[in-house]
Amino acid sequence: MAKYDPRSLHAEEFINDEEIQEALRYAEENKRNVELIDQILEKARPQKTETGCVCSGLTHREASVLLACDIPEKIEKMYEIAEEIKLAFYGNRIVIFAPLYLSNYCVNGCVYCPYHAVNKHIPRKKLTQEEVKAEVIALQDMGHKRLAIEAGEDPVNNPIEYILDCIKTIYSVHHKNGDIRRVNVNIAATTVENYRKLKEAGIGTYILFQETYHKKSYEQLHPTGPKHNYDYHTEAMDRAMEGGIDDVGLGVLFGLELYKYEFAGLIMHAEHLEAVHGVGPHTISVPRLKRADDIDPDQFDNGIDDETFAHITACIRLAVPYTGMIISTRETEAVRSKLLRLGISQVSGGSRTSVGGYTQEERPHDTEQFDVSDQRTLDEVVRWLMENGHIPSFCTACYREGRTGDRFMSLCKNGQILNCCHPNALMTLSEYLEDYASPETKEVGYRMVEEELKRIPKDKVREIAEQNIKDIKNSNRRDFRF
């Protein structure tokens, strides 16, 4: 039987079933142990230092105790500390992005995804490079600067060369004042050589959802195709890092397996990356199973309600305080609003999950990967964020200044990332307001920018930011960054 070892490169040793089961038993035994819960909460709380704040994070066992806890006042305390951590390291900024679906050709048999190979009635589509360009222009006209590209796994229709060509096309499109400055990639597990090619193409974060960490369930949910190989899929992040990609994004699809098991596995994966590579995940996503073309989520019996979802999100934030957290338009405005207070630092806006969907006036549904619950425009999402006290950020400066991987994390852990992130967010927001915003959003936005500039502690930084924003308003000069 495999033995638990977070430093191992073998999936069944760093995501160890026996260890997860033991952690869940420990959590169940201690879920009302008030003294222990208070100790864990105190450990999770940010501690002030001369240079900012530090957080110790939590082990998968400690975090599992908090997730198992059903004492209402303790859960509220978790929510308070989660918001405290979010504000300490990410401030009130929320990064904006959009998914771009390139192709829904797929050879896998994933039973929860409408792109699975056995679905014979869904239209199959793959964007040409001209169509990619048109999609990018449509996204730029909305105001987007950061994309996450998505494609099914199909070595014939979607080989790595196709993905690389699409990345090159995306970065080449300069439309009016628009540019896509960061392309994140969410494609199937691949080889070290291919990860090197993605790194050389200038990608940002490599994202791969585990779907489920329960090996037996994983193999049942992926009955056919290359994705059936649990070990190859689970070990992908190690190959990505070996290939030079130091920003990777984790996630599970909540609703496929029991959520406490998935949560423990997710935190163990983060611990493994930290132990082996010296840097944990750059992001963690928290998607829930949603209705799609031939997928009925009610057929799966592990769905979670909104309160449990909030509890999970807060516990992830307490466990991995420096990792960015993403919530997509799978969720409603009400759910997203609550989770923004519990640690979320990135949201999608104006998203379409169909291949070629952005160039069509009416939202197409025939090639959607999942139903979009939040169907507001990007402008509406930006205004909503600001009206709720969040700064919408289109910043990509860290990636282009080489602040990735351990360099980003060291700055974040020292609290220093706030010295450049806050003004960068205000400058990129000003770009959006000047080039794309509706009059109402523009009015709300510049009022926020004016107030937020006062909060920049360093006089020199504030003066430079103020001058750059004046230049954005009075000229076509763009892309200022600290």
| CATH code of the domain covering residue 120 | 3.20.20.70
Amino acid letter at 307?
A: E
Across 432-457, average pLDDT: 96
Residue 153, pLDDT above cutoff 60: yes
How high is the pLDDT of residue 115?
86
- Does residue 230 sit in the same domain as residue 334? yes
384 lies in some domain: no
Closest CA to 102 of 144, 189, 164, 182: 164
Same domain, 150 and 70: no
C-alpha closest to that of 249 among 200, 186, 293, 296: 186
Take residue 72 and report the two structure tokens written for it: 């209402």
348/382 Cα distance (integer angstroms) = 10
Q: pLDDT tens for residues 84-94?
A: 999 988 999 99
Is residue 57 located within the same domain as residue 96? no
Q: How far apart are CA 311 and CA 32, in angstroms?
A: 16
For 127, residues 6+ apart whose C-beta sits below 8 A from its C-beta are 102, 103, 135, 166, 355, 356
pLDDT for 290: 65
Structural domain count of the chain = 3
| Beta pairing class for 174-175 and 178-179 | antiparallel
Q: Is 394 inside a domain boundary?
A: no
Of the ranges 162-171, 295-304, 404-413, which is most confident? Answer: 162-171
Average pLDDT of the chain, as a whole number:
92
Lowest mean pLDDT among 1-5, 96-100, 114-118, 424-428: 114-118
pLDDT per residue as tens digits for the range 18-45: 999 999 999 999 999 999 999 999 999 9
Domain boundary among 62, 87, 112: 87
Q: Which of 87, 113, 131 is the last residue of a domain?
A: 87
Domain residues for the domain of 330 are 91-375
330 and 250, same domain (yes or no): yes
- Verify that 163 and 186 share a domain, yes or no: yes
User: Are 80 and 100 in a shared domain?
Assistant: no
Residue 244 within any structural domain of the chain: yes
Q: Is 309 exposed, middle or buried (0-12, 13-18, 19+ CB in 10 A)?
A: buried
- Could you tell me which residues come within 8 angstroms of residue 299 by beta carbon, excluding any fewer than 6 positions away? none
**In DSSP terms, which residues pair with 99 in a beta bridge?**
148
* Residue 301 sits in the same domain as residue 361: yes
Q: Is there a single domain that holds both residue 148 and residue 168? A: yes
Last residue of a domain, one of 325, 359, 375: 375
Is 182 domain-assigned? Answer: yes
The 3-class secondary structure across the chain, one letter per residue, is CCCCCCCCCCHHHHCCHHHHHHHHHHHHHCCCCHHHHHHHHHHHCCEECCCCEECCCCCHHHHHHHHHCCCHHHHHHHHHHHHHHHHHHHCCEEEEEEEEEEECCCCCCCCCCCCCCCCCCCCCCECCHHHHHHHHHHHHHHCCCEEEEEECCCCCCCCHHHHHHHHHHHHHCEECCEECCEEEEECCCCCHHHHHHHHHCCCCCEECCCECCCHHHHHHHCCCCHHHCHHHHHCHHHHHHHCCCCCEEEEECECCCCHHHHHHHHHHHHHHHHHHHCCCCCEEECCECCCECCECHHHCCCCCCHHHHHHHHHHHHHHCCCCEEEECCCCCHHHHHHHHCCCCCEEECCCCCCCCCCCCCCCCCCCCCCCCCCCCCHHHHHHHHHHCCCEEECCCHHHHCCCCHHHHHHHHHCCCCHHHHHHHHHHHHHHHHHHCCCHHHHHHHHHHHHHHHCCCCCHHHHHHHHHHHHHHHHCCCCCCCC
Give the pLDDT of residue 50: 74
pLDDT of amino acid 361:
80
Residue 284 included in any domain: yes
Instruction: Give a yes or no: residue 386 inside a domain.
Output: no
Percent with pLDDT over 70 in the chain: 93
Lowest mean pLDDT among 15-19, 311-315, 402-406: 402-406
| Core vs surface per residue 235-269: b (16+ CB within 10 A) or e | bbbbbbbebebbbbbbbbbbbbbebbbbbbbbbbb
Is residue 397 included in any domain, yes or no?
Answer: no
The pTM is what?
A: 0.94
For residue 405, being part of any structural domain is answered with no
Instruction: Please tell me whether residues 81 and 101 are part of one structural domain.
Output: no
Pair (166, 193) in one structural domain:
yes
| Residue range 374-427, pLDDT digits in tens | 889 999 999 999 999 999 999 998 877 777 776 777 767 666 666 788 999 999
Same domain assignment for residues 296 and 326: yes
Q: Is the domain of 237 the same as that of 344?
A: yes
